[in-house]
């Protein structure tokens, strides 16, 4: 997992403690994925997350899902050989968010309309079949009050027409819940928000565990883990999360603990452990005292 040039880094990492070293290996698995497993596998199987010693991967193509079953044991060996320890026990196929295909061009919808406008325009033309009406009637709760029952029934009919219209225009289920979302989207607004929170938390974890990674390296790791959100990984995003992580590390800092100090300096200066000299640490800590931003979110 390490090139020869990284040997110094490797011993510096070990000096920072076993946990830190193992964490680094876990991340190295993501950003060295291609060199560990080779191009053929890397082109078709993406590592998405590591839970204890189980690696979850995303595989978009059906033939490769089958192929994977035969290659699985070999991949586990490759990973553990590269890490020079038993980093993982098994690999499972996890949930994969595949971007849906763009809507076909044979519709006559003008491109300037938003998905909601397209639906609003076509909704008056959508009617329910007798079977669909019957299904709504069968599924509606029995309500004594006539007026209330009528209102509920009308609401159900409107919702059914709306969904029918959406399906007609290529809407599909959100990747994690039942709501219908426009053709080009993967998640509904609510799930998107939750995913984004998770995405930011994952970036914070990466920064905490491998503090010296550059923006490009972090982005590459996120591309493996949460490809559906990587377009949300702006330099500003990473910068702001890094600043939050630095604040957290500074807040909880035990000044007698050299490892904590080093981690803080690495996160703040984006320096690998082999570049941490006493002088660098001293100067950085002095600067940090004046430069610590306040406020912000927690991860």
User: Which chain residues interact with Zn ion by CB under 5 A?
Assistant: 174, 177, 179, 188, 191
Task: Output the six-digit token pair for 199.
Answer: 């995405």
Nearer to Zn ion, 188 or 218 (CB): 188
The minimum distance between CB 135 and Zn ion, in angstroms, equals 24
d(C-alpha 52, C-alpha 135), whole Å: 47
Nearer to Zn ion, 143 or 177 (CB): 177
- Report DSSP letters for 144-206, one per residue: S-HHHHHHHHHHHHHHHHHHHHHHHTT-EE-SSSS-EE-TT-SS-HHHHHHHHHHHHHHHHHH
The minimum distance between CB 98 and Zn ion, in angstroms, equals 16
Q: Are 122 and 116 in contact (CB under 8 A)?
A: no
φ, ψ of residue 202 in degrees (nearest 5): -65, -40
Strands 172-173 and 90-93: unpaired
Q: Are 20 and 13 in contact (CB under 8 A)?
A: yes
The minimum distance between CB 72 and Zn ion, in angstroms, equals 31
The minimum distance between CB 197 and Zn ion, in angstroms, equals 14
Query: Which helix (H) or strand (E) segment is 21 a member of?
Result: helix 18-31
Nearer to Zn ion, 16 or 188 (CB): 188
Nearer to Zn ion, 2 or 97 (CB): 97
SS3 3: coil
- For 164, 216, 228, 243, 275, the CA distances from 186, given in Å and listed in that order, are 19, 24, 8, 30, 42
Nearer to Zn ion, 77 or 116 (CB): 116
Nearer to Zn ion, 71 or 194 (CB): 194
The minimum distance between CB 155 and Zn ion, in angstroms, equals 21
The minimum distance between CB 190 and Zn ion, in angstroms, equals 6
Nearer to Zn ion, 174 or 261 (CB): 174
Sorted by sequence, the CB contacts under 8 Å of residue 80 that are 6+ apart come out as 86, 87, 88
The minimum distance between CB 275 and Zn ion, in angstroms, equals 44
């Amino acid at each position: 997992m390490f090139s020869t040039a990284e040997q110094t880094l490797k011993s510096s990492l070990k000096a920072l403690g076993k946990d830190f070293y193992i964490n680094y290996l876990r991340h190295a698995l993501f950003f060295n994925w291609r060199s560990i497993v080779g191009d053929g596998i890397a082109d078709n199987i993406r590592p998405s997350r590591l839970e204890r010693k189980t690696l979850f991967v995303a595989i978009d193509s059906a033939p490769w899902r089958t192929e994977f079953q035969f290659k699985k044991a070999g991949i586990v060996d490759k990973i553990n050989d590269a890490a020079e320890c038993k980093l993982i026990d098994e690999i499972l196929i996890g949930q994969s968010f595949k971007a849906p295909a763009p809507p076909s061009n044979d519709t006559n919808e003008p491109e300037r309309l938003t998905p909601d406008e397209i639906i609003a325009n076509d909704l008056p033309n959508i009617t329910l079949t007798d079977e669909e009406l019957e299904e709504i009637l069968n599924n509606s709760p029995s309500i004594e009050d006539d007026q209330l029952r009528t209102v509920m029934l009308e609401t159900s009919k409107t919702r059914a027409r709306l969904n029918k219209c959406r399906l007609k225009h290529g809407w599909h289920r959100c990747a994690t819940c039942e709501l219908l979302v426009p053709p080009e989207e993967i998640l509904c607004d609510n799930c998107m928000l939750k995913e984004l929170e998770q995405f930011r938390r994952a970036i914070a974890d990466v920064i905490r565990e491998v503090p010296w990674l550059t923006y490009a390296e972090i982005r590459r790791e996120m591309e493996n883990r949460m490809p559906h959100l990587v377009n949300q990984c702006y330099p500003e995003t990473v910068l702001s999360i890094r600043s939050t992580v630095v604040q957290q590390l500074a807040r909880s800092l035990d000044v007698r603990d050299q490892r904590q100090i080093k981690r803080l300096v690495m996160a703040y200066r984006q320096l690998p452990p082999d570049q941490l000299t006493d002088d660098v640490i001293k100067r950085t800590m002095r600067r940090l005292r004046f430069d610590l931003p306040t406020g912000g979110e927690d991860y």
